[in-house]
Amino acid sequence: MKSKSASRLFYLSVFALWAAPGSCEVSNDDCHISPKSIVGDACASYSTLDKLNLLTKPAVDDLTRNTDFFSHYRVNLFHKKCPFWDDENGMCGNIGCAVETLDNEEDIPEIWRAHALGKLEGPRAQHPGKKAQRQHPQRPLGGLLGENVGESCVFEYDDECDERDYCVPEDESASSKGDYVSLVRNPERFTGYAGDGAKQVWDAVYRENCFQKSSFPKSADLGQSGWQHGPAAQDFKQILDAAGRQAQLEERRQENPNTPFVANTGFEVEDECLEKRVFYRVMSGMHASISTHLCWDFLNQTTGEWSPNLSCYEYRLHKFPDRIGNVYFNYALMTRAIAKLSPYLQKEEYKFCLGDPSEDAATRAKVLEVTEKAASVPQIFDESLMFVNGEGPSLKEDFRNRFRNVSRLMDCVGCDKCRLWGKLQTAGYGTALKILFELDNNNEDVPHLQRTEIVALFNTYARISSSLHNIGQFRQMMEAKAEKERLAEELAEEKRRIDAEREKHAKELEDRQKEEQRIRVEREKRAEERRKEKTPNQKLEEMFEEVKEEDTKVEPEVAKNDQMDDAMRDFIQLRARGPKEESMMGHLEHELAQFKGVLRVVLNGWARTPRMLWTIVRYEARRAFRSYVGLPVGPRVWKFGLPNIPADKDEL
């Protein structure tokens, strides 16, 4: 699947290279926002718009919250069907379209469930017919909005429509004129409306950015290539770009299902010029602004607390600088429209409250305060650059029709409050575009602005102003979070360093203890060896003992050698005994026996001589060593001499 897509994109890219690059510059917001950088397609920096918002926000908040004219809005919420599809997933009652913070919404109180959060609150009054208006000119709504509400400031007296409208008037092709609802009682905040129904609406909104090729000018003044293509080549090029873009989007959506329909794909070349970029920025900025409000006023469906949800902001906006840039662009566009409308609202012919001059004057003063502050920064957006080519009128008409389709798409929203604010803000942006592109202060043909358009314009301005403020607060929270994470990382790093140092010191201590143990064992071993090792005196004494022992061994040997052996004793006894008989034979036998005895003694002597000599050598060597080392030398235990042979029997 991916290989086919890749090959198709390759050939599409080759064909796309046939066309020269367009001269229309596309702003790149896909980078971190710098306060000094200029907002794409606008004429002011981010910091300039932030400062301007600090100036205008208190005034516009006071205007939209504390005046009857701007705090109530007539809208048809319940008598129009979605003109594009009939999908039950669009209804908030379907569990599939609701964001659940728990596994089952039955686990949370009824008032915190998605369908309850999406319902309108406060009093509501239907728009009366002509007869009721004539019968009760001062109180045409019959006090249904409350006794303290000035109905002359709220009631819509003029229902006329203008073909130059950029949004569908609320009374067009409707069986009811709509209801008057309190915007203060129904703030734009988290309702739990999401899922397939909401995604289908936003996809359809973005899909309206696909302008017809015939809507664009044929000249090369703005957004066209210098190389003049024929109609067939232009159409073929458009088909290739559209196919490549669609293939790229499909591949991206396989990886991330939340990819918007008009995400940058790389196939937006020369045709992606100012008019198309403005349309996309308005839609994307409105979407991002709504996301900001939902994240800022977020309900924890477990605790019931309303508070900013930083994770929601980080997921929806913080990671997408282009979306934040489009919010700033919408603020610049709305500010320019408010400032351009100022002369029209200063005219005495325009009345905010027909039946209450004092309230009319107070409302006018607050309106002029807002418009004057909005006009304090000139050239914040230059609408004169748009629709200036040969087919400007047809392009403007296509632009207007597509914005009207977006307005109609709001009837497909399945949440009452979401539909209310979607229709109001769509009407607000449509009114701003109508003022910018249709209102010429030097021309007497001024398009008519209905009360609902002006209310939608200023409330949308209040919404986009709150978005800028909330984004600034979220940015500070993100910086605080980043700082906290940085400090936590530093603490963790410090802890890791300390742990490493401790581990190092522990290892060093362990090594030192091991070394000390080794040294101690070595010392003990040496001490034991020293204890076992004999001193020189002990060695000498031991040597003396050995010598004595040898002496004791040698002396018996010498003494033994010095003694007569059995042969000598037998010879002596034989000699002393004499012959057995005094006869000659007796004497002969006696002499022969003596001869044998002598021979035996001689032979034994020769046999003992080597051993005797070795014993004497050993003994004398020891006597010499003892004399050398200074030990006492005893007398010799041996001597050379003849054996003592007794002369007669008495000596035996």
Domain for residue 515, yes or no? no
Same domain, 475 and 328: yes
412 carries an active-site annotation: no
Same domain, 460 and 566: no
Same domain, 479 and 619: no
Residue 571: which pLDDT band, with cuts at 50, 70 and 90? confident
Helix (H) or strand (E) holding 242: helix 231-255
Same domain, 475 and 555: no
Same domain, 327 and 454: yes
Binding site for FAD: which residues? 189, 191, 202, 284, 287, 316
Residue 594: which pLDDT band, with cuts at 50, 70 and 90? confident
Lowest mean pLDDT among 248-252, 596-600, 623-627: 248-252
Domain for residue 527, yes or no? no
Binding site: which residues? 189, 191, 202, 284, 287, 316
Domain for residue 1, yes or no? no
Instruction: Please work out, in degrees rounded to the nearest 5, the angle formed at the alpha carbon of residue 401 by the alpha carbons of 218 and 293.
Output: 115
What confidence score (pLDDT) does residue 582 get? Answer: 82
Same domain, 160 and 288: yes
For 121-167, the pLDDT digits (tens) are 555 555 555 555 554 555 555 555 555 555 555 555 555 555 555 55
What confidence score (pLDDT) does residue 595 get? Answer: 86
Query: 10 Å Cβ neighbour count for 81?
Result: 8
Same domain, 474 and 551: no
Same domain, 478 and 551: no
| 3-class DSSP state of 576 | helix
Domain for residue 497, yes or no? no
Same domain, 203 and 302: yes
Look at residues 425, 456, 486 and tell me which one is the last residue of a structural domain: 486
Catalytic option among 24, 167, 412, 415: 415
Burial letters 149-170, b for 16+ CB under 10 A, else e: bbbbbbbbeebeeeeebbbbbb
Pick from 322-331, 393-402, 624-633 the range whose average pLDDT is largest: 322-331
For 398-444, the pLDDT digits (tens) are 778 887 888 788 888 888 888 889 889 988 998 898 888 887 756 55
Domain for residue 507, yes or no? no
Number of domains comprising the chain: 2
Lowest mean pLDDT among 11-25, 78-92, 177-191, 357-371: 11-25
Distances (CA, A) of 294 to 8, 156, 310, 460, 567: 40, 30, 11, 15, 137
Look at residues 454, 471, 486 and tell me which one is the last residue of a structural domain: 486
Q: What is the CA radius of gyration of the chain?
A: 59
Query: 10 Å Cβ neighbour count for 92?
Result: 29
Closest CA to 417 of 524, 290, 539: 290
Same domain, 436 and 552: no
Same domain, 466 and 613: no
Distances (CA, A) of 377 to 49, 182, 381, 419, 539: 9, 32, 10, 33, 112
Distances (CA, A) of 51 to 54, 55, 131, 330, 335: 5, 7, 49, 16, 13
For 366-397, the pLDDT digits (tens) are 999 999 999 998 888 888 888 776 666 777 78
Domain that holds residue 546: 538-651
What confidence score (pLDDT) does residue 568 get? Answer: 75
CA distance 181 to 71: 9
Catalytic option among 82, 153, 312, 418: 418
Please report, rounded to a whole number, the percentage of residues in the chain having pLDDT higher than 70. Answer: 62
Domain for residue 206, yes or no? yes
Domain for residue 229, yes or no? no
For 541-570, the pLDDT digits (tens) are 666 666 666 666 655 655 555 555 677 777
Instruction: Please work out, in degrees rounded to the nearest 5, the angle formed at the alpha carbon of residue 165 by the alpha carbons of 161 and 168.
Output: 75
Look at residues 463, 486, 509 and tell me which one is the last residue of a structural domain: 486
312 carries an active-site annotation: no
User: Which own/partner pairs from 584-590 qualify as long-range (CB within 8 Å, at least 24 positions apart)?
Assistant: none
What confidence score (pLDDT) does residue 625 get? Answer: 81
Domain for residue 506, yes or no? no
Same domain, 50 and 116: yes
For 154-169, the pLDDT digits (tens) are 555 555 555 555 555 5
